[in-house]
Every structure is written in C-alpha cells, then in structure tokens.
Amino acid sequence: MDIISSLSDLRAARLSFEGTVGLVPTMGYLHEGHLSLVSRARAENEHVIVTIFVNPTQFGANEDLSKYPRDLDRDLSLLRPLGVDVVWTPSAEMMYPPGYQTWVEVEALTHPLEGSMRPGHFKGVTTIVAKLFNATQPHKAYFGQKDAQQVAVIRRMVVDLNFPLEVIVCPTQREADGLAMSSRNKYLNEAERKAATVLFRALRAAKELYEAGERDAEILRIKMKEVLEMEPLAKMQYVSCADYDSLEELDVLKGRALLSMAVFLGKTRLIDNFVLG
C-alpha cells in the first residue's frame, strides 16, 4: 500500500495502473462503514485508491473543523489488510492553492434538507469530489447511503459534468443497536450514545407504518417526530419524507421515498435515513 501526499506521485501511480480503478473518498477517522466501501471497491476493481482529506470548504463557520477527529496511523492500519493500492493524503494548500476561486455547484438538489441547515456545505463537497475525480480518474467511486443527499448531489454532478465513472452507493453500516456508524459518534458521551438510537427507532417506526400500508407522508413525518420527542436528550432539527430522486417533500408516497432526519444529541449533530419502496 503506497501512502502518497503529492499530486505528481499520485498521477504517476495512477498512470501505472492497468485495469479498473475504484475510488473511496473519505475524511479519515475510518469506521466499518468506510471499510465496507473499500472492500466493495476491492472486490469490483483491479486497483483501489482511498483518499483521506478533511475538506475545510464543506464545514460551516459554526462547525468545528479543527475538532474533526483525525488519526492517520490508525486509518492506515485499518486499510493495510484490505488490499488498497494507494492512500492519497493531499494537503489543504494543494487542494486550495492561494487565490483559489473555482467551485462546482449543484443547484436545486442542494437546497432542501442538509443544504438548508448547512449553507455552502454541498458546494464544498461537490468541489472537492470533482477535484478528487480529476486527480484519480476512477472508473467507479464508492459512497455510503448514510449521506443520502450527498449521494444524490454527487450523482447529479457526475451526469451534468459528464464524468466517465459510475457512482456506487453502499448500504449504511449500523452498530448492534441500530445507530448508523459515523466518525461523529465519537463525540457522544455515554448518555448521548444511548439516546442516539432514537434516530434509528424513529425511522423504524415510520417504516413500520409504511409497511402496514400507510402512504400519507405527513403521518410518517409525525410518527418520526413523536418518537424523537420521547427522547429528552434529542433535539430534532428536521424530519423529512421526500421523493428519493428530487428530494422534494411528498404528500403521498408513490415510488421510492427517502425518510431522513437531523438530530442534535448535546452538541453532536447526527443524520440518518431509510429508503422506502
């Protein structure tokens, strides 16, 4: 496994690859969710590149970039057994050189849900992901369903900018009690960690209604709110029952729908979602 930080070394490594390349972009502090993406990339490609870069432009002014968890040695030791060819760890100065002023922005899809709560977030995500695609030239790029809106936005960008690659979406990995794996779970204290299962419980309660035949989106949103309100440590930011592709809020569920939510446990903001239909 080559650990590369410069762009020229990455390009040289990429040029030496014959056959398909799978890319797993990450911000590090890897967990089972990331590792499942890497394993899938390994199974489906001749070569695998993992990028580790805590992208400053996708953090808002009130989101603490400097406190984002980082542990490169631990990340590398988790990746070594998985047969990764290259780990690329570019610097912020390389990705955003002085005077930087070029951005990639997806429009309507970035306005609701996470986009409405985190202005500028997706502009940072699409810009860095486009730059990672340019640098690594993958045939397939792997993302987790946990960040459902991110996946929708990146898919749109890939179509709109004619990137010659396939976006592969992998299932959310969960702890035994249902909590979706996330690097941010590390911030939770013991009581918050216990309470954090409320996201999964709320989604599951709405899904049960759906499976019993309920198709009124507002009833599903109300059910999720009710479950969240029963947990004193949880502070709901939004719940949504939206069309899977357009992310517009639904009145009645017909095709595929996305149940999603953002919830604060103390200072930690968690998101989760289920796909219905």
Q: Which of 125, 217, 253, 258 binds ligand PAF (CB under 6 A)?
A: 125
Residue from 25, 33, 112, 115 binding ligand PAF (CB under 6 A) = 25
When asked if residue 172 is in the footprint of ligand PAF (CB under 6 A), the reply is no
* Nearest to ligand PAF of 150, 260 (CB atom): 150
| Residue span 150-169 as binding mask against ligand PAF, x where in contact by CB under 6 A, dash where not | x-------------------
Q: Does 27 bind ligand PAF (CB under 6 A)?
A: yes
Q: How far is the CB of 125 from ligand PAF (least distance, A)?
A: 5
User: Is 24 a binder of ligand PAF (CB under 6 A)?
Assistant: no
Among 23, 84, 113, 128, binds ligand PAF (CB under 6 A): 128
The string of DSSP codes covering 168-193 is: EEEPPPB-TTSPBP-GGGGG--HHHH
- 28-57: contacts with ligand PAF (CB under 6 A): 55
- Give per-residue burial for 238-272: e unless 16+ CB within 10 Å, then b: bbbbbbbeebeebeebeeebbbbbbbebeebbbbb
**Residue for token digits 């570019």?**
90
Within 109-256, strands assigned E span 140-144, 166-170, 234-243
Measured CA to CA, the distance from residue 156 to residue 175 in angstroms comes to 30
**CA 177 to CA 263: how far, in whole Å?**
17
Q: CB of 157 within 8 A of CB of 163?
A: yes
Compare residues 96 and 210 and give the one whose CB is closer to ligand PAF.
96
In the residue annotation, 34 being an active-site residue is answered as yes
Alpha carbons 219 and 91: distance in angstroms, whole number: 47
Residues engaged in binding ligand PAF (CB under 6 A): 25-27, 55, 58, 125, 128-129, 147, 150
Q: List residues with catalytic annotation.
A: 34
